[in-house]
Amino acid sequence: MAEGKKIKSRSIKAFKGIKLELEGRNNQIILLELISYRTVILNFGNARRSLKLFPVPCCLSPSSNFFRIPDGGKAENSFPTPSIFALFPIFPARSELSMSNQINVLPMSPPEVDDFLAAARQEVAEQRFDGGDRERLKMMVECLGDSRGMVRLGFADTLGKIGVPAIPFLVEALLHHDNPVVRRASAKTLTLIADPTTVEPLVHALLEDEDTVVKGSAVGALARIGEASVPVLLEIIASSHQPESTKGHAAWALSFIGSEAKEYLYREIASDVDAVRAAVVGAIAKIAQDSGEPQAFEVLMNALNDLSETVRIEAAAVLGNLAYKPAASRLIELLAHPEGETRKAVALSLMKIKDGSALEPLKAALEKETEGGIKPVIKLAITQLERQSDDS
C-alpha cells in the first residue's frame, strides 16, 4: 500500500486521489470523488465506477488510523467485486480528526461512557463544571451518538444545563457531523438551551439537512427560541423556492410561538403572499385560544373574506376549532360561496361550532349542492347538529 500523507483538511473529501487496496487482491484503485459519505466514485483499471456503500457509511476504525469502507459494500454499475474492504492510509492522531469524520464510533466503552456522563452530571448539579473545558464538551457532544437512547438523553439534558458554553460544539455537530443521530440530538439539545444566537445554524439545518428528523428537531428549536426566529420563519413561508413540507414546518413553529410574535403577526396579515397570510391566521388562532384577545378574533373573522381560498379555508377551520359562535352568521353566508373547498370548510366549521341556527341553512345548501365530494360533508354537519338538537 502506498505511503499515506497527513490529512490537514477537516473534510473527508481530502481523501480524493489517495490509493486504495482491495483485500485479497493485488491491484489498487484510486478514489476520484466522494459524492457523499455513502457514495464514492472509483477508478478501477480503465473504468470509472460508482460505489454505493451499504449498510453503514465509512467509519474510523477504533483500532487503527485507517478510514474504512465496510465489508459487503454493494457496487453499482457492475463493479467487478461484490465484497470490498478498502483502507485509506492516513496518519493523523485521533485528537486531530474532526468529530464530523467519526461515525458511530466512540473512543470509550459503554461503561466508560456511563462513568463519563455520571461525573459530568454530578459536576453540573454541584455547579462546578468547567465550561471552558473544550475537549470535554466536544466529547460530550460526540456521546450524543451513543447507541443507547437513555444515554443520549442524559448527555442532552446535561449539555442543556451547561448551556451557552456548549453551544459552539452543538452547532458544529449540527452542521457538520456525518452521523444523523448526533445532528438530531444536537438540534434537540439546542432546543433546551433556546439561545437566539443559534437561529442561523438552525435555519441552515432546516433548509439543507437531508435528514427529516434533523429538520423537525431544528424547527422545534426555532419554535422554542421564540420571537427571534419569527422574521426568518416568515421569510421561509414567503419563499417560492422552499418545498411545502419546509413551509409547513415554519408555519407550525410560528403558531407555537404565538403571542410572542404578535407584533409581526398583526402586521403580516396584510402580506401580499397567500401562504404567509394563511400561516398568520393559524398563529393568530393560537393567540385567540390562549388569551381571548378581541383583536385576534377580529383578524380571523376578516380572513373569511380573503381573496385567497387557502386563507379562507384556514380561517374557517380555526374558527370551527375555537367553536367561536359569533362567526356562525358569516359562515352561513359562505355556504353559497362559488368555490367548493370554501363551502366544504364552512360546513365543517359550522358542525364544530354547534350553533343550531345553522341547521336549516345547511339543509338548503345540501339541496343546491352540485359537487359530489361536498355533499357528504354537508350531510355529516346536518347529522351532527340534529343529534345535538335531539340530545338537548
Q: What is the DSSP letter of 42?
A: E
- pTM beyond 0.75: no
- Give dist(CA 134, CA 179) in Å, integer: 21
First CA to last CA distance, the chain = 86
Q: For residue 351, is pLDDT > 70?
A: yes
Tell me the pLDDT band of 107, cut-offs 50, 70 and 90. confident
User: CA dist 131 to 75, 115, 137, 138, 314, Å?
Assistant: 46, 19, 8, 11, 47
Cell 459530568 -> residue:
120
Q: What is the pLDDT of residue 186?
A: 98
Per-residue pLDDT, averaged over 202-219, amounts to 96
How does DSSP assign 231-256, residue by residue?
A: HHHHHHHH-SSS-HHHHHHHHHHHHH
Q: For residue 15, is pLDDT > 80?
A: no
Name the residue with higher pLDDT: 341 or 63. 341
Q: What is the pLDDT of residue 108?
A: 85
Nearest to 224 by CA among 265, 183, 188: 188
- Identify the H or E element spanning 41: strand 39-44
Lookup: cell for 221: 428549536
Tell me the pLDDT band of 105, cut-offs 50, 70 and 90. low
- Give dist(CA 324, CA 315) in Å, integer: 11
Largest CA distance in the chain: 87
Mean pLDDT over the full length of the chain: 78
Beta partners for residue 34, in sequence order: 40
Nearest to 85 by CA among 4, 19, 24, 13: 24
pLDDT digit string, tens, across residues 82-99: 222 232 322 222 233 333
pLDDT digit string, tens, across residues 119-137: 999 999 999 999 999 999 9
Name the residue with higher pLDDT: 4 or 217. 217
pLDDT digit string, tens, across residues 43-53: 434 444 443 33
Beta partners for residue 52, in sequence order: 39, 74
Report how far Cα 261 is from the mean position of its chain's Cα atoms. 21
- Give dist(CA 212, CA 83) in Å, integer: 31
Q: Report the top-level CATH class of 106-225.
A: mainly alpha
Q: Per-domain residue ranges for the chain? A: 12-95, 106-225
Q: Which of 45-54, 77-86, 345-354 has the lowest mean pLDDT?
A: 77-86
Name the residue with higher pLDDT: 20 or 173. 173
327 phi, psi to nearest 5 deg: -85, -10
